[in-house]
Homo-oligomer: A and B are copies of this chain.
Amino acid sequence: MKDYQNPAWCQGMKLRINYNNMMKSALLPDGFTREELTRLPLSAALAAMKAKRPALRWMDLPHNQEEIVQQIEKTAAWVREEAEAFVVLGIGGSALGPIAVHQALRHLNYNDLPKEKRGGPKLYVLDNVDPERMAALLDVIDIKKTVFNVITKSGSTSETMSQLLIAVDLLKKAVGEDISRHLIATTDKEKGNLIKIARQEHLTTFIVPDGVGGRFSELCPVGLVAAAVCGIDIRALLAGAAYMDELTQNEDPMSNPACVIGALQKVAMDRGMNIHVMMPYADSLKYISDWYAQLWAESLGKKFGTDGSILHAGQTPVKALGVTDQHSQVQLYTEGPFDKVVTFLTVDKYRTVTPIPEGYPDIPDVHFLSGHTHNELIAAEQAATAYALTKSGHVNYAITLPEVNPFTIGELLYLFEVATAFAGELLNIDAFDQPGVEEGKKATYALLGKPGFDEKRAELNARPAEDEAYIL
């Protein structure tokens, strides 16, 4: 029996939320009141989410992918056998999800490990079109021993398709016309450009379901393929998400973790806190902040409300890391404006114990550390930072993972996805579109001379000339 099939084990792995440091107290006189939270239309928002669920197909990913998981495991098996490097060509959710999960659940120096210890091919995620990036990749891989995974639902993402053209050209020159053992496609079932190419080239193909937008896609093949290739237990990941799905269907708002998070953030936004810091106290969780930043920013940063009113809604996510950013940002966090909520991610039990040994007994300011562990030190620093923030009037709360494992990561991702959707309800915006990226896309096409964008090109050319006075 797997751990996650044991309900007692799952219960022991439940994520905890402690938001005492958001709430009014002797230590925090300007903290939130329970009433500020409960007067929000929380039950109505929960009901609205429930009614929307059939359309929000990302919500069912933990439950309906048994066949897909089997196909992924089969694919991962031959990739692990044949590939020395696995290269994801993707951007946005297609990159951020894989990176976050890999960082959490693989060795922190994974690519540096010798093959026999690494437990999978080297992983590269090409999430940019800096010309130096592709060149740098080609310097370190043997194309004949590389498998690429191109990920784009629409097949119209310029960056990813440009990388695909480069990869296909190199592969065909290296291995011949049949590149089907070197390229996996993850895309829409029938719409768009990539599915056409996948059929043409006879590629192993995985489908991004409708109703699963990029920033909600980590628990579908977009994330699961890379995870399985690198040896991560994707069934446990999905089991954790399924477990959180139960918890986030709780109809008592203040017992529902996603509801509580959404409510806290809504009250914060109403109080003018336009910044949301995500600060894990674990290197393994560092890129959860990056993944979360897309989820939170792109879902909630909306010009229009669902009623058509102009809102310019949104709260800016800030990526932080403890203890590292204590030495970079905490001065601002404790002394600066009261414009931010800090969310800590903490870990009860890390996967190693690192003792601090004896040394320099004649230097007490150093020697006091001996006999402690990094485990104690990082926990003390997180508690101390939370205290310092609260004492200085700056609200914060903590989400605690008992351990970092695939189950708890599945819980965490799903929790944040539901909390974001819930916040969208409270903000009366559509959390699932991203119209604001269209202008930049069109302008890019126009600048590149793509046919069909003459109007945009004319608009760009009609801009007033720049004022030289504003150029140094």
Decide: A92 near B327, CB < 8 A? Known: A350-B132, A440-B381. yes
Decide: A335 near B302, CB < 8 A? Known: A356-B165, A444-B380. yes
> For the complex, what is the distance from the CA of A237 to the CA of B122, rounded to whole Å?
33
Determine, out of A66-74, A219-227, A461-469, the stretch whose residues face the partner at the interface.
A461-469
> For the complex, what is the distance from the CA of A306 to the CA of B18, rounded to whole Å?
37
Q: A168 contacts which chain B residues (CB < 8 A)?
A: 359
Question: Is A447's CB under 8 angstroms from B383's CB?
Answer: yes
| Shortest Cβ gap from A197 to chain B (Å) | 6
A88 within 8 A of B: no
Question: Is A275's CB under 8 angstroms from B316's CB?
Answer: yes
A357 within 8 A of B: yes
1/0 per residue A375-390: CB within 8 Å of B?
1111011011101100
> For the complex, what is the distance from the CA of A136 to the CA of B169, rounded to whole Å?
37
A111 within 8 A of B: yes
A113-B139, A372-B448 known; 19 new pairs, CB 8 Å cut-off, are A18-B470, A19-B471, A107-B136, A108-B136, A111-B111, A112-B112, A132-B351, A155-B366, A161-B369, A162-B374, A166-B356, A301-B333, A303-B335, A303-B392, A316-B316, A335-B436, A383-B447, A384-B447, A392-B439
Q: A449 contacts which chain B residues (CB < 8 A)?
A: 368
Question: Is A392's CB under 8 angstroms from B436's CB?
Answer: yes
A43 within 8 A of B: no
Question: Is B381's CB under 8 angstroms from A129's CB?
Answer: yes
Q: Which residue of B lies closest to A137 (CB)?
A: B109
Q: Which residue of B lies closest to A326 (CB)?
A: B440
Q: A302 contacts which chain B residues (CB < 8 A)?
A: 331, 335-336
CB interface residues, A 432-472, toward B, < 8 Å = 434-437, 439-451, 460, 463-464, 466-467, 469-472
> For the complex, what is the distance from the CA of A313 to the CA of B464, rounded to whole Å?
36
CB interface residues, A 133-188, toward B, < 8 Å = 133-137, 139-140, 155-159, 161-162, 164-166, 168-169
